[in-house]
Amino acid sequence: MKAALFIPCLTEHLLPEPGLSMVRILNKLGVEVEYVENQTCCGQPAYNSGYHQQVIPLAEQFIELFHDKEVIIAPSGSCVAMVREEYKHLKLREDLKAPYERLKGRIYEFTEFLVDVLNVDQLGGRFPHRVTYHDSCHLSRMLGVREQPRRLIANIADIDFLEMQGSDVCCGFGGTFSYKMKEISVEMVKRKCDSIQESQAEYCIGADSSCLMNIQGYLTQNGYSARTLHIAELLARSLEL
């Protein structure tokens, strides 16, 4: 199988390790990967801020670049949800509507692809630490991906998986929401970090770098001991990749 990589902006510009870890794992599983040149932002920040008309050129470029790929994989439920669930609300060119319908059935978040497409939920790794899991909003609520990452985590040898209180409660990031509603956002991430601490986990695992960046920032600034880790990095570390 050949998979096209959909690399989110945060992965490309700030936090590359989740993308690199994803590629190492896909290679280990025999999946050939392809980086599609000229890919750009999916348009989610602008879309969430109400600039729907301005997002159309980005969506059309994405469809033109990816519509003929066998499968498309991203280390982000948020960006996959933008393409799969939000592009259909845009007024796309007529000639791109059929290609988009085919594309949206072949784009997957990383853990969703492993479990639901490859039927892999056990990679054979080892990670002797206490971890908990944060359900990012777009991944869990828009894509319905909740059990896939948990199955992958629970099947790692020697790991101690501890569910936190309110694992599916938003961390308060939400892109521009954290700037426009700073006080509310800070209270939300504080509540999330308190839940992580109460779980006694050493690591908070997630599938979206944006949430993890927000959570890690609050953990570090306020002296919490737990650290965040993208699930692709967790799986790669457990396998020493």
For 155-190, the pLDDT digits (tens) are 999 999 999 999 999 999 987 888 888 999 999 999
| Per-residue pLDDT, 174 | 81
Tell me whether residue 212 is exposed, middle or buried, using C-beta atoms within 10 angstroms of its C-beta: 0 to 12, 13 to 18, 19 or more.
buried
What are the pLDDT digits (tens) for 3-56?
999 999 999 999 999 999 999 999 999 999 999 999 999 999 999 989 999 999
Name the pTM for this structure.
0.96
Task: Provide the pLDDT confidence category of residue 152 given band limits of 50, 70 and 90.
Answer: very high
The label of the residue with tokens 């007529």 reads 94
Instruction: Please state, in angstroms and as integers, the Cα–Cα distance from residue 42 to each residue in 14, 69, 79, 159, 166, following that order.
Output: 16, 17, 7, 35, 29
How does DSSP classify residue 114? I
